[in-house]
Amino acid sequence: MPTVHRESVALGKLTPHGDAAPTDDLAPDQLAAVTHTSGPARVIAPAGSGKTRVLTARLRHLLRDRRYEPDIVTAVAYNTRAAG
């Protein structure tokens, strides 16, 4: 019988220090999403527009620049490519 669904889990850790992707090439609205300070944000954009890049830049910003403790930040990606 063929397998229809497959489940797997990969656990990784984002490194906030060291070689971080530069935010210089983000558009102004993307940079605003990365650095906003008041409450949750929703990123809505078409495929290929850089949503995953914004989210990983946001995580690095929270960990490196705003000094969030890594133990309180969780990110879930739908595949390992998106997880970086």
* pLDDT tens for each residue of 18-29: 555 667 889 999
* Contact predicate 76/31, CB 8 Å: no
Query: Could you read off the pLDDT of 29-62 as tens digits, one per residue?
Result: 999 999 999 888 888 999 999 998 898 899 889 9
Contact 84, 56 (CB under 8 A): yes
Report the amino acid identity of residue 18: G
Q: What integer pLDDT is reported at residue 32 of this predicted model? A: 94
Q: How far apart are CA 76 and CA 51, in angstroms?
A: 14
